[in-house]
A and B are shown apart, each in its own frame.
Chain A
Amino acid sequence: MSATRSIALSLVAGAIAVTTACKKQETPATDTTTPAAVAPAPDSAAKAAAPAAPAINDAQIAHIAVTANAIDSAAGELAKKKGTSKAVKDFAKTMVTDHAGVNKQAVALATKLNVTPEDNDTSKQLKAGGDANIANLQGLTGAAFDKAYIDHEVEYHQAVLDALDKTLIPNAQNADLKALLVKVRPAFASHLEMAKGIQSSGAAATAK
């Protein structure tokens, strides 16, 4: 699904673009710089990115963390209602519970550090992708809904994991923030594994 592919790309590329905030984004894209996991830009403006590690600040990282959780919670709430198979509904319930738990930690830390999450291009792109996913899912029912939901969850969690590993964790300045991101990583890894399991077992397409 091209929408989700562009999320995967833009999550990483966007984090890089954030740092070049003063630079216009219309620079001809000669190099996506994104690692092997991500395909060349399908549609969204390919971000010209320097090969060097980007400098995204902690306030932006905090905003991305909160945004990423909110997006998966919203999709999970929808799937709790519209999901068909037991596997999908159970997965959705876990997404809602887990992302609430993770978000609680993120907000608590931001409060403790007196950091106000700062909106940024990556968050915006994530949100746009999330909204597009919800809109798409709202038009689906039954096995088609389940499949679209789970397929998106796989791509989404992979993209967030990549961003955690390549951008957010390496660039976190505050030690507590970095520690929280590291602590949160297993949740995303587990969610990805669970979603892939449902995807490959075909359970999404079977009412159990």
Chain B
Amino acid sequence: MAIALGCFAGAVAACSRPVPRSHTVTIQNFAFVPAELTVAAGDTVVWSNKDIVPHSATARDAAWDSKPIDANAAWRGVAPARGRHDYYCVLHPNMKATLVVR
């Protein structure tokens, strides 16, 4: 997204910080959808559990941990430090995904 470009060094004083956006990762059929999501630092990410059992979204680098989210519930997190953050479900460790923060 263009907004994510933010301010370049040396840009005019009028440059402004990007407006944080909200993104949703849907948890369904024992998968995170999308499996890889790219967001801007400061954006909000909502993990929405549309499955019939609890799941978590737990970053491997400990950047965030939703703890188990009940079926039909959601958890909101703020995008952490820039980089690729692999995450998984602690209840079902074979469920994996990545959050890319720019």
B partners with A: yes
Which residue of B30, B71, B91 contacts A189 across the interface (Cβ within 8 Å)?
Answer: B30
Bound Cα distance from A160 to B74, whole angstroms: 30
- In the complex, what residues of A have CB within 8 A of residue B31's CB? 186
User: Are B30 and A186 neighbours in the complex by a CB distance under 8 Å?
Assistant: yes
A102: interface (CB < 8 Å): yes
Q: Does A194 contact B (CB under 8 A)?
A: yes
Interface of A is mostly: helix
B94 at the A interface (CB under 8 A): yes
Residues of A within 8 A of B71 (CB): 101
Specify the chain B residue showing the minimal Cβ separation from A185. B29
From B29, B53, B93, contact of A101 by CB (8 A): B53
The answer to whether A97 touches B92 (Cβ under 8 A) is no
Minimum CB distance partner of A190 in chain B: B30
Size of the chain A interface, CB-CB below 8 angstroms: 17
Given contacts A189-B30, A190-B30, contact A184 B52 (CB under 8 A): yes
- B91: A residues at CB distance < 8 A: 93-94, 97-98
B77 within 8 A of A: no
B53 close to A97 (CB less than 8 A): yes
Q: Is B18 part of the contact surface with A, judged by Cβ < 8 Å?
A: no
Tell me how far the C-beta of A8 lies from the nearest C-beta in chain B, rounded to whole angstroms: 22
Establish whether residues B53 and A183, one from each chain, have CB atoms under 8 Å apart when the complex forms. Answer: no
Q: A170 contacts the other chain (Cβ, under 8 Å)?
A: no
> CA A187 – CA B29 in complex, angstroms?
7
Q: Is the C-beta of B20 less than 8 angstroms from some C-beta in chain A?
A: no
Q: How far is the CA of A187 from the CA of B54 in the complex (A)?
A: 11
State which residues 18-63 of B face A: CB under 8 Å: 29-31, 52-54
Interface assignment of B100: CB less than 8 Å from any CB of chain A: no
Over the window 62-99 of chain A, the binary record of Cβ atoms lying under 8 Å from chain B Cβ atoms (1 yes, 0 no) is 00000000000000000000000000000001100110
A76 to B61, CA, bound (A): 30
Q: Which of chain A's residues have a CB closer than 8 A to the CB of B93? A: 194, 197
Q: Give CA–CA (A190, B31) in the complex, Å.
A: 10
The answer, yes or no, to whether B95 is at the interface (CB within 8 Å) is: yes
Question: Does the CB pair B94–A187 fall under 8 Å?
Answer: no
* A-B pairs with lowest CB-CB distance, top 6: A101-B53, A186-B30, A186-B29, A190-B30, A98-B53, A94-B91
Residues on B lying within 8 angstroms of A by beta carbon are 29-31, 52-54, 71, 91-95
Given contacts A97-B91, A104-B52, 15 further A-B contacts (CB under 8 A): A93-B91, A94-B91, A94-B92, A97-B54, A98-B53, A98-B91, A101-B53, A101-B71, A105-B52, A183-B52, A184-B52, A186-B31, A187-B30, A190-B92, A194-B94
